[in-house]
Structure 1
Amino acid sequence: MKNIIIAITLLLLFTQSCGVYSFTGGDVGDAETIQIDYFPNNAILVEPTLSQKFTDALRDLFTRQTNLSLTTAGGDLYFEGEITDYKVIPITATADQAAAQNRLTIAVRVRYYNKKEEDKDFEKTFSFYSDFDANSQLIGGVLETALEEIFERLTQDIYNASVANW
């Protein structure tokens, strides 16, 4: 109950204060459109649906957290890049030297162009991981859970670097 009262109080403070606030912290300036190209998988190990799922996750985040219109060409904000790494490695061992946990790591190289403020352009590599039980195979629900965790972090990091100015 105490948390609800605090949340309502904060909500009232933000909505009654002077100025405009974004709950996501994004600053898109004068931009009205965003273009996010398909991110091909150039990693040595290829997961067939990885590129489409990552591209969709990045597009979804920006359309949910900004008022930008998604376009296929000529966007005021423009993202391109590729998946550069997709690997599974053991990270912990049992007493008999068998793997107890594995780690899926995905890295994405992103090139960001801001046509309204070119000094904000960048090229960076973002990487994140998800750990899973070594007795589980990286298929089905295990894979979906890992990808969801990784994509949530990767897309948020890309968002923060580009429009949240973090």
Structure 2
Amino acid sequence: MKFFRVLFLFIVLFSINGCGVYNFTGAKPINAKTFQVNYFQNTAELVEPGIERTFTLRLQDLIQNQTNLNLTNSNGELLYEGEIVEYRIAPMTATADQKAAQNRLTISVMVRFSNKNKEEDNFEKRFSFFYDYSGSSQLVGPQLTDALDVIFERITQDIFNESLAKW
């Protein structure tokens, strides 16, 4: 009977120890404790006021929620910086009377990622996503908020995957 208890305890301890490297967010273990997200300036030709602050906060929140890294204002071991380089609205389909039936908002962000502890992980890359909406509506108020939610969720997750999850 004592043999089975010891065997059971050994199996449980071995199983728990084996799960220490993985987590449910997909982030691989990294040798860092802090991260820094510098303010992303909006350098796009067409400027929507406030999106640079919204994007910066979204990226900070995503990293804080999916890792155990601490956000810092300076000297972060992981550094995210860049700018919003494109904010474009373009017609996607037209009606018979030459009006847009559907429009597309595209936002692109240039990101520079630096890892002080592992410089081979550093990159500079452009991330982009879009949101389609009816040509008969204006992209303001709640519809703009919905569009930014969809676009920023995708772009920030892509940045996270590229820098920390290595997908």
TM-score > 0.5, shorter chain as reference: yes
Structure with bigger gyration radius: 2
- Percent of aligned positions with the same letter in both sequences? 53
Where 1:154 maps in the other structure, the secondary structure is helix
Equivalence for 1:127: 128
Equivalence for 1:5: none
Equivalence for 1:72: 73
Could you say what the CA RMSD is over the residues aligned between the two structures, in angstroms?
1.3
Matched AA of 1:158: I
Following the alignment from structure 2 to structure 1, what is the Cα–Cα distance between the partners of residues 108 and 136? 24
Where 1:138 maps in the other structure, the secondary structure is coil
1:38-53 equivalence runs, <5 A: 38-53=39-54
Following the alignment from structure 1 to structure 2, what is the Cα–Cα distance between the partners of residues 160 and 68? 15
Following the alignment from structure 2 to structure 1, what is the Cα–Cα distance between the partners of residues 102 and 18? 50
Where 1:163 maps in the other structure, the secondary structure is helix
Equivalence for 1:114: 115
1:72-110 Cα shifts (integer Å, max 9, x gaps): 000010011000000100001122221111000000000
Shift of 1:27: 2.0
Equivalence for 1:19: 19
TM-score, scaled relative to structure 2: 0.88
Where 2:79 maps in the other structure, the secondary structure is strand
1:43-92 Cα shifts (integer Å, max 9, x gaps): 00111111000001000100000000000000010011000000100001
Where 2:41 maps in the other structure, the secondary structure is coil
Following the alignment from structure 1 to structure 2, what is the Cα–Cα distance between the partners of residues 146 and 160? 21
Residue correspondences, number: 152
In structure 1, stretches of 5+ residues that fail to align are 1-14
